[in-house]
A and B are shown apart, each in its own frame.
Chain A
């Protein structure tokens, strides 16, 4: 297995016609780091993630994952996790989890094996494998989405508001499961969120983007102890203080 990779985003700019979405974005994500990305609606968070995934070409600047500059979609370093899960409604949970490998031409036996393992990692082993997405709750659907991303064994996970449409209780469970997975797998994670609590609870650093055109407004370090999923970090005064600090930054920016 290859080493974990960092991401260098260098002077990245992106416009859609006359609308400038991103201006001069400069972010260094360390190998194995958990980075949260927060900012007002429409500031270009999704656009930034798509640029990193190679789905959108940058107008200026460049993105390097590990040592390879991103030049288009389909790179093997990074996997995306989508807010709306992006599951194939006509495929079972296992077929969905296999889909990335299928597109990359992996043989059937290897696909099934990797999908099984990934589904087990996200807590969906056994009979759920044969369920269609419509038969699963939102939380379980996103587990399948996460399993699909993990099945191709990427070094980088790019998550666009993965828990935004999931109810609060399930979201907390998924957040803890994500933290556990992250500490076991040592992947680099970039997670976009609208939730200040989520950003602080999960990440090592929070990058705050300014309103459109998105620029890096502030970077907030989150020195909370880990493993946070077992330490009851949410109840600590330090957690509350950091959430408030983030809130003050966002409030002043409006």
Chain B
């Protein structure tokens, strides 16, 4: 069977055109030398290359990536598990729903000082921030996915004798899979945010620390180079989840 619609490319032609246009405008603005806070795109590229070749970028990105994984992987596993349980069991949902919603919309950066008090000024704080930023959106999406399961599918499975375990594995989990993957994708972007916020606040490791450093020392092209790298990491993480999505959700 051939698919009825061609799969959309992750990044379409329009997307590339938009980026190219942005770069041109940026370059022109930079060349006008209106202010030191808008360096030209080419000077940022030079700075980026410098940071890449002297190892600064790789070192800080390596540390950042470690924290990202240490925070995001537990957030994904626990978030999906809690979301499944909350989607399935009403009492659990009623107990936790308010908390989850409150925490999801809370300004979580305000919690970082608490984390510093808990863990000390260490990179564990960054991992914990990553966890907090990404956990709730994963929980909520998973729960929504489970709750959106067609009733007739559940009845069909039960009519063939499916018990609770079979319902979970064969109906609820696959039915919720698109929503779970969307949650993970949004969670991955949140995780990068959490990473930068955590690193900036502890000002010790990773790309966040570099942001603070270049900001304070007015190395503006370098500052922009790090910002661009952070954006690239965010884009990369969400693209990774998206390709997992495409591999797992073939039926749409």
A residues in contact (CB < 8 Å) with B: 50, 53-55, 73-75, 79-80, 82, 84, 86, 88-91, 99-100, 102-104, 127, 130-135, 152
Chain A neighbourhood of B152, CB < 8 A: 82, 84, 86
Chain A neighbourhood of B250, CB < 8 A: 90, 132
Contact sample, A vs B, 7 pairs, CB 8 Å cutoff: A74-B158, A75-B161, A82-B152, A103-B170, A130-B1, A132-B250, A152-B160
- Complex: A100 Cα to B175 Cα, angstroms: 17
Q: Are B4 and A74 in contact (CB under 8 A)?
A: no
- Complex: A73 Cα to B240 Cα, angstroms: 42
What 1/0 flags go to B150-189 for Cβ under 8 Å of A?
1011011111111000100011001101000000000000
Chain B neighbourhood of A135, CB < 8 A: 1, 4
Chain B neighbourhood of A53, CB < 8 A: 159
- Using CB atoms, name the residue of chain B closest to A134: B251
What 1/0 flags go to B225-252 for Cβ under 8 Å of A?
0000000000000000000000001111
Q: Are A88 and B1 in contact (CB under 8 A)?
A: no
- Using CB atoms, name the residue of chain A closest to B157: A103
Q: Which of B160, B174, B251, B252 contacts A74 (CB 8 A)?
A: B160
Chain A neighbourhood of B175, CB < 8 A: 90
Q: Are B160 and A132 in contact (CB under 8 A)?
A: no
- Complex: A133 Cα to B159 Cα, angstroms: 20
Evaluate whether A103 and B153 lie within 8 angstroms (CB atoms) in the complex, with A55-B159, A90-B177, A132-B251 already known.
Answer: no
Total number of B residues with any Cβ neighbor in A under 8 Å: 23
Total contacts A to B, CB within 8 angstroms?
Answer: 67
Chain B neighbourhood of A88, CB < 8 A: 153, 171, 174
Q: Are A74 and B156 in contact (CB under 8 A)?
A: no
B residues in contact (CB < 8 Å) with A: 1, 4, 150, 152-153, 155-162, 166, 170-171, 174-175, 177, 249-252
Chain B neighbourhood of A104, CB < 8 A: 160-161
Chain B neighbourhood of A54, CB < 8 A: 159
Q: Which of A73, A131, A132 contacts B161 (CB 8 A)?
A: A73
- Expressed in whole angstroms, the minimum distance between the Cβ of B152 and any Cβ of chain A is 4
Q: Is the interface of A mostly helix, strand, loop or mixed?
A: loop
- Complex: A127 Cα to B2 Cα, angstroms: 11
Chain A neighbourhood of B153, CB < 8 A: 86, 88
Chain A neighbourhood of B156, CB < 8 A: 80, 82, 86, 99
Chain B neighbourhood of A55, CB < 8 A: 155, 158-159
Could you list 6 further interchain pairs (A-B, Cβ under 8 angstroms) beyond the known A88-B171, A99-B156? A54-B159, A73-B159, A80-B155, A86-B150, A99-B170, A103-B166
- Complex: A152 Cα to B249 Cα, angstroms: 28
- Expressed in whole angstroms, the minimum distance between the Cβ of A158 and any Cβ of chain B is 9
Q: Is the interface of B mostly helix, strand, loop or mixed?
A: helix
Evaluate whether A86 and B155 lie within 8 angstroms (CB atoms) in the complex, with A134-B251, A134-B252 already known.
Answer: yes
- Complex: A132 Cα to B252 Cα, angstroms: 9
- Using CB atoms, name the residue of chain B closest to A132: B251
- Using CB atoms, name the residue of chain A closest to B154: A86
- Complex: A248 Cα to B171 Cα, angstroms: 44
Chain A neighbourhood of B166, CB < 8 A: 103
Evaluate whether A131 and B1 lie within 8 angstroms (CB atoms) in the complex, with A86-B152, A90-B177 already known.
Answer: yes
- Using CB atoms, name the residue of chain B closest to A101: B160
Q: Are A90 and B1 in contact (CB under 8 A)?
A: no
Chain B neighbourhood of A84, CB < 8 A: 150, 152
- Complex: A112 Cα to B205 Cα, angstroms: 56
The 5 closest A-B pairs by CB, nearest first: A74-B161, A86-B156, A86-B152, A103-B160, A100-B160
- Using CB atoms, name the residue of chain B closest to A103: B160
Q: Are A79 and B159 in contact (CB under 8 A)?
A: yes
- Using CB atoms, name the residue of chain A closest to B1: A131
Chain B neighbourhood of A79, CB < 8 A: 159
Chain A neighbourhood of B4, CB < 8 A: 135
- Complex: A91 Cα to B251 Cα, angstroms: 7
Chain B neighbourhood of A91, CB < 8 A: 251
Q: Are A127 and B1 in contact (CB under 8 A)?
A: yes
Evaluate whether A89 and B161 lie within 8 angstroms (CB atoms) in the complex, with A82-B152, A82-B156 already known.
Answer: no
Q: Are A90 and B159 in contact (CB under 8 A)?
A: no
- Using CB atoms, name the residue of chain B closest to A88: B153
Which has the most chain A C-beta neighbours within 10 Å: B4, B156, B252? Answer: B156
Q: Which of B158, B159, B160, B251 contacts A89 (CB 8 A)?
A: B251
- Expressed in whole angstroms, the minimum distance between the Cβ of B148 and any Cβ of chain A is 12
Chain A neighbourhood of B251, CB < 8 A: 89-91, 132-134
Chain B neighbourhood of A134, CB < 8 A: 251-252
Which has the most chain B C-beta neighbours within 10 Å: A54, A82, A127? Answer: A82
